Amino acid sequence: MANFPLPADLSAGTALSEIHTSIWDLLASSAAGNAPGWRLPVLATLTDHGCEQRTVVLRVVDRDHGALLFHTDVRSSKVEQVRKDGRVTLLFYDHDRSVQLKIRGVASIHQTDEFAQSLWEAGTPASLKMYSAPLSPGTQCDSFNHNMAESLLGRLPERYEIEAGRVNFCAIRIVVQSAEWLRLSQSGHLRASFELIEGRLDSADWIAP
Ligand SMILES: Cc1cc2nc3c(=O)[nH]c(=O)nc-3n(C[C@H](O)[C@H](O)[C@H](O)COP(=O)(O)O)c2cc1C
């Protein structure tokens, strides 16, 4: 069973900053696919009628700027929601480590710039295939519909076969403003909050679990 690394002395003045570092370590390894833990967060966006949530894959962690990057289809409703109001939350849960992470941040959409292009180029054909879907995600259909050309269905495509989907691909970049960490344990739960400014830790506090 995997553990979330804890500082040797929880009452030391550096304990919270060590936990903050470990949070970013786990985010980075989750994005790299090395630790499934925080790979599949739930992204919540604001809409005119409240909030909407969906599962997304954490793709890249830009630690220097305190940012997290995701792939999405520019036609999906979350993109319009983020364009209207970039305030979002992310909820991660690592089942093995029993650690939850709540993030509040500001999201932006990147379709043609270097963020989007580098993610497109780094993506595998398997992960990018869905951007060749003929219909906008969420389109109502008369009958079941895989939203994928027959020629691409059920197989791993070659790179050249998915290039046409580039127009539908974009990156969501979320700059983290605050994080709240909760570690459940039989030996005692722990909870802490962190405020960030431009990727740097500004303040950290223990809070009651
Ligand atoms: C395990 C899993 C991973 C997913 N990863 C992504 C993702 O990385 N990006 C994405 O746009 N949608 C992803 N989806 C689909 C979304 O959850 C959602 O259904 C879709 O993006 C449409 O969302 P929207 O209509 O709220 O914009 C994933 C779904 C599952 C079940």
CA–CA dist 44, 102 (Å, integer): 11
76 lines ligand 1 (CB under 6 A): yes
Confidence of residue 160 (pLDDT cuts 50, 70, 90): very high
170 falls within a domain? yes
202 falls within a domain? yes
Q: Considering the chain, what is the average pLDDT of its residues?
A: 96
**C-alpha dihedral, 133 to 53 to 3 to 5, nearest 10°:** 110
* 3-state SS, one letter per residue, for 85-120: CCEEEEEEEECCCCEEEEEEEEEEEECCCHHHHHHH
pLDDT tens digit string along 83-125? 999 999 999 999 999 999 999 999 999 999 988 999 999 999 9
Mean pLDDT of the region 129-151? 95
Q: What spacing in Å lies between the alpha carbon of 161 and ligand 1's midpoint?
A: 22
47 lines ligand 1 (CB under 6 A): no
Query: What pTM value is reported for the model?
Result: 0.96
For residue 83, what pLDDT is reported? 98
5 falls within a domain? no
CATH number of 83's domain: 2.30.110.10
49 falls within a domain? yes
Number of domains into which the chain is organized: 1
For residue 12, what pLDDT is reported? 95
Host domain of residue 85: 15-128+166-206
